[in-house]
C-alpha cells in the first residue's frame, strides 16, 4: 500500500513539474479602449490616466508640435494595443506602441488642412476615427 502511494505521489509530482515548464498563450486579445481618455497635463506636462493606470509626459510631443502647452490631450487605444494621441492646436495624431516602461512613436499622422480645433477620438470596430467637432471633419486613421 505504501509503495502504491509513493508511486502515485511521484507520478503526481512529475505531472505538476512538467506543467510548470509549458507556456500559456492567450490569443485574439482585443486591447481596444471603447472610450477616449481626456487628460489634463500638470505643471510638468505630465498626464495621468487613472482609469487605465497610465502616466507619462507630453513635453516631447509639445516640442514636435511647436506649442508651449495644451489644456488637455485626447488618448485612445486600438484593438492591436496602439495608442493614439492628439490635442487642440495639433496638426498631427501620434501613434505609439507600448514598450517596457515607455511609449515608442510608431507613426506621426499628419492631418490635412488647418490645425485641430476640438478633436475627439471614436473607436469604430477595426479602426480609430478622429473627429474635429468644431467643423465636422472626420478621418479614419488607418487610411490617412
Give residue limits of the domains in the chain.
37-140
Instruction: Write the CA distances from 25 to 22, 28, 118, 123, 134, integer angstroms.
Output: 10, 10, 41, 26, 44
Provide the b/e sequence for 66-105 (b: ≥16 CB within 10 Å).
eeeebeebbbbbbbeebbbbbbbbbbbbbbbeeeeeebee
Q: What is the pLDDT of residues 97-131, one digit of tens each?
A: 999 999 999 999 999 999 999 999 999 988 999 99
Strand runs labelled E in 58-136: 73-77, 83-86, 92-99, 102-110, 119-124, 127-132
d(CA 73, CA 87): 5
The residue to which cell 509513493 is assigned: 6
Contact present, 109 and 144 (Cβ < 8 Å): yes
C-alpha cell at 107: 507613426
Q: Which is more confidently placed, 102 or 1?
A: 102
Question: What backbone torsions phi and psi does residue 76 show, to the nearest 5 degrees?
Answer: -145, 155
Side-by-side strand order, sheet with 83-86:
37-39, 73-77, 83-86, 92-99, 102-110
Residue 69 is predicted with a pLDDT of 95
- The 10s digit of each residue's pLDDT in 51-100 is 989 999 999 999 999 999 999 999 999 999 999 999 999 999 999 999 99
Question: Coil, helix or strand for 125?
Answer: coil
Could you report the per-residue pLDDT of 7-37, keeping only the tens digit for each? 566 565 555 555 556 789 888 888 888 899 9
Q: What's the grid cell of residue 115?
A: 490645425
Amino acid at each position: 500500500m505504501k509503495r502504491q502511494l509513493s508511486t502515485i505521489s511521484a507520478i503526481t509530482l512529475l505531472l505538476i513539474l512538467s506543467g510548470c515548464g509549458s507556456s500559456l498563450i492567450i490569443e485574439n486579445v482585443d486591447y481596444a479602449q471603447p472610450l477616449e481618455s481626456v487628460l489634463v497635463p500638470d505643471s510638468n506636462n505630465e498626464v495621468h490616466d487613472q482609469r487605465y493606470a497610465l502616466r507619462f509626459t507630453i513635453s516631447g510631443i509639445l516640442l514636435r508640435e511647436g506649442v508651449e502647452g495644451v489644456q488637455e490631450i485626447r488618448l485612445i487605444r486600438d484593438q492591436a494595443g496602439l495608442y493614439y494621441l492628439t490635442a487642440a492646436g495639433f496638426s498631427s495624431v501620434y501613434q505609439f506602441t507600448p514598450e517596457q516602461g515607455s511609449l515608442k512613436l510608431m507613426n506621426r499622422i499628419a492631418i490635412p488642412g488647418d490645425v485641430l480645433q476640438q478633436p475627439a477620438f471614436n473607436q469604430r470596430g477595426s479602426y480609430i476615427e478622429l473627429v474635429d467637432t468644431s467643423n465636422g471633419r472626420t478621418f479614419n486613421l488607418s487610411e490617412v
